[in-house]
Amino acid sequence: MPWQTQDFAADSGPTRYRESPLALGLRRILRKRSSRVALFVLGVIVLVGLLAPLVAPYNPAAQPDIVGLKDLPPSFAHPFGTDPYSRDVLSRVIYGARLSLMIGVLATIVSLTVGVAYGAISGYAGGILDAVMMRLLDACLSIPRLLLLIGVLVAWPNFSIGALVVFLGLTGWFGLSRIVRGQVLALKHAEFITAAQALGASRRRILWRHLLPNLVSPIVVAATLGVAHVIVLEAGLSYLGIGVPPPLASWGNIIHDGSDQGATLWWMALFPGLFMVLTVMTLNILAEAMSDAYERR
């Protein structure tokens, strides 16, 4: 009978060449036009910041003529105008890019470190420690980040940029630690399932081989968004006067300097803000593209 069972190898279908999830994700991100544009714009801003000394037309701290050159609206000589101390706003914005971006990145690194550590420990430990840590986390989340920072920074009369970075970082890890904890928890349960197969030493290997790949994408997305948040936050704090100390230039600082008078000098509000919006927008676009790319596994 032709329908009796026969021994045959299962049909495996055409093989697709292996691609690391990282490469695949990257390709997907770059496929969207919005991501390419965002990456380009962000790249330009970063480059400008990095090369600030070469790009800025004037010294951002120079106050050449505090009587004659102050509060000038945009002109050819000063495309972004001058501030109440006769400093060139364009140069300050360029140096501001450098400072604000640097603060954003460094603070985010702090946040990532603390967040991953906290979440991993909490998830791995489990039990009472986990419960306590999570309650603590809830409480931290209940204090609006800006308020927390105001509370801390007002108490310190003169803090350095380093301290600012640390504080910004220490207030931004809450959400990420939750995500990390979730992954670790899921892994713990999976561990028990494969307990029979796992050898003593391979537990760590499983953790390494399974934990990290799953975490890379949420961490990268969180980091991107984190930088955006810190930039906005630092600007807000500088605007309130408790952020980057003068005479250094940061985007928020410049807006602060321009708001001292009743009617704001519009060019001092507009230009730093525009750069901020551009930077944050590009970061948001990239973060969204990244999370889209990795979700479609």
Q: From the CB of 87, what's the least distance to another protein, in Å?
A: 20
Answer yes or no whether residue 188 interacts with another protein by CB under 8 A.
no
Q: Which is nearer to another protein, 70 or 145 (CB)?
A: 145
CA dihedral of 112, 21, 123, 289, whole degrees rounded to 10? 50
**Phi-psi group of 245: left, alpha or beta (phi > 0 → left; psi -120 to 50 → alpha; rest → beta):** beta
Q: From the CB of 240, what's the least distance to another protein, in Å?
A: 6
Token pair of 231, please?
A: 């930039």
Q: Of 278, 279, 282, 260, nearest to 269 (Cα)? A: 260
The per-residue b/e assignment along 59-71, b for 16 or more CB within 10 angstroms, e otherwise, is ebeebeeeeebbe
Answer yes or no whether residue 170 interacts with another protein by CB under 8 A.
no
Answer yes or no whether residue 129 interacts with another protein by CB under 8 A.
no
Answer yes or no whether residue 93 interacts with another protein by CB under 8 A.
no
Q: From the CB of 129, what's the least distance to another protein, in Å?
A: 16
Answer yes or no whether residue 197 interacts with another protein by CB under 8 A.
no
Distance of CA 292 to the CA centre of its chain: 17
**Cβ–Cβ under 8 Å, residues 194 and 206:** yes
Out of 84, 145, 186, 246, point to the residue binding another protein (CB under 8 A). Answer: 145
Contacts to another protein from residues 231-290, by CB under 8 A: 232, 235-236, 239-242, 255, 259, 263-264, 266, 269-270, 273, 276-277, 280-281, 284-285
Answer yes or no whether residue 40 interacts with another protein by CB under 8 A.
no
Q: ω into residue 247 within 30 of 0, thus cis? A: yes
- The residue count for binding another protein (CB under 8 A) is 53
**Cβ–Cβ under 8 Å, residues 234 and 250:** yes
What are the residues binding another protein (CB under 8 A)? 1-6, 8-12, 135-136, 138-148, 150-152, 154-157, 228, 232, 235-236, 239-242, 255, 259, 263-264, 266, 269-270, 273, 276-277, 280-281, 284-285
